[in-house]
């Protein structure tokens, strides 16, 4: 069941990129909002960097098994 949800999530995430080409932004504040699907790419990159940062911090924060002995 977990594997099905993972595949479904990946399919929907990939489908969000071409969907950005069909959505028109009426009020553009910043230059990058004119580019299609930039929010999807930015969000995916941000999530990847957060996961990477937590793994790096966890590597340095974990104590050895005999730390309290």
Confidence at residue 27, expressed as pLDDT on a 0 to 100 scale? 80
Nearest residue to 39 via CA among 5, 15, 16: 16
Q: Cα torsion at 12, 13, 19, 21 (round to 10°)?
A: -160
Tally of domains in the chain: 1
DSSP 30: S
Does 67 reside within a domain? no
pTM for this structure? 0.62
68 occurs within a structural domain: no
Flag whether 30 is in a domain.
Answer: yes
Q: Would you state the pLDDT for residue 43?
A: 87
Under a CB-based contact definition with an 8 Å cutoff, are residues 14 and 20 in contact? no
What is the domain extent for residue 42? 2-61
CA–CA dist 29, 2 (Å, integer) = 40
What three-state secondary structure class fits 22? Answer: coil
Question: For position 67, what pLDDT does the model report?
Answer: 65
């Amino acid at each position: 069941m977990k594997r099905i949800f993972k595949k479904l999530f990946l399919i929907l995430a990939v489908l969000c990129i071409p969907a950005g080409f069909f959505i028109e932004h009426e009020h553009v504040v910043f230059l990058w909002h004119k580019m299609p699907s930039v929010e999807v790419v930015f969000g995916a990159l941000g999530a990847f960097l957060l996961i990477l940062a937590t793994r790096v911090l966890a590597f340095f924060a974990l104590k050895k098994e005999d730390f309290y002995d």
